[in-house]
Amino acid sequence: MKTKLIIAIAMAAPTLAAAESSPWLPIPSSAQVSLGYVNSSGDKFDAGTTRMTLPAKIKQGTTSVGLKLGLTDEFAIDTSLNYVDSKFADASQKQGKMSDTTFGARLRVVDEFEHAMAPTVTLRANAIIRGSYETGRPDAIGDGGTGFELSVLAGKYLMPTLAINGELGYRNRDNMIPSDIWVDMNAGYSPMSRLSVSAGATITRSQGDLDIAGPGFTGARFPEVKEDRNLVKLGASYAIMSNLAVNLNVGKVVSGRNATLATLWGASVVSSF
């Protein structure tokens, strides 16, 4: 029973997650490979506390390849490679580049399957390697920083068909980028065999104080801008086979600070072996 639950959890990887937000690890000596795509677009923008309509939509498409390895019952590693196409206004403002690459490790410190009243608790450390994209533009693929993330993840199966999980994390990067704190919350329900649905939210808060068009702002200081986002998301996952699943997700940035109020949709295929 425990092995079946862990496989089901691991296959339902959310495409729209801001970070790896699952406290449940792959089973030992197993690997998971994922291929995903996320489309993001929006023409509403919060510059500081002022909401404005852009002359055209900022559009981005992200193709991701991920790998997770379960090394022991308590320890797993993962990596993600991401390529992004970005377009704003016209072809002269289009770019396609590798986004930031991540390498992570997760250590489970509490197992709910061994302690009935406790949640599963996992610690995570993540290295961020900056991509090859340009910065200093509103549709930049990223902030252009190398650094790290640290987080605590927790989750609990309330019943065989209902689970909740969350993550509290801290992100620090160079290049004068403000550090971030985020909270990710999710609930998943399986109404029938092979099918699961989920709902969640990710709240990100920057520790910076520079606003776009605010005092001291210049185009060269885009990476220093404070970026807050409040994202809500829905997802569904269907296991085609015991080791192959398809995930569909939608999301919306409902509010923020120096952020595009983007609508997102994504799809991914996850295989384990």
Give, for all 273 residues of the chain, the pLDDT tens digit: 444 443 333 334 344 544 457 899 998 999 999 999 999 999 998 888 889 888 888 899 999 999 999 999 999 999 999 999 988 866 566 778 899 999 999 999 999 999 988 999 999 999 999 998 888 776 778 889 999 999 999 999 999 899 999 999 999 999 899 999 999 999 999 999 899 999 999 999 999 999 988 899 887 888 899 999 999 999 999 999 988 999 999 999 999 999 899 999 999 999 999
**Count of structural domains, the chain:** 1
Hey, what are 31's tokens? 């690997």
Classify 43 in phi/psi space as left (phi over 0), alpha (psi -120 to 50) or beta: alpha
**Would you give the end-to-end CA distance of the chain in angstroms?**
18
- Residue 16 is predicted with a pLDDT of 56
User: The domain containing residue 19 runs over which residues?
Assistant: 2-272
Classify 194 in phi/psi space as left (phi over 0), alpha (psi -120 to 50) or beta: left
Other CB atoms within a 10 A radius of the CB of residue 73 amount to 13
- DSSP-H helix ranges across 157-248: none
Q: Let me know: does 245 contact 220? Beta carbons within 8 Å.
A: no
- Residue 138 is predicted with a pLDDT of 67
- Residue 213 is predicted with a pLDDT of 83
- Residue 18 is predicted with a pLDDT of 41
- Residue 102 is predicted with a pLDDT of 94
CA gap 36, 157 in Å, rounded:
26
- Residue 95 is predicted with a pLDDT of 79
Other CB atoms within a 10 A radius of the CB of residue 125 amount to 13
User: Among 145, 142, 141, which residue's Cα sits nearest to residue 129?
Assistant: 145
Domain of 161, CATH number, reads 2.40.160.40
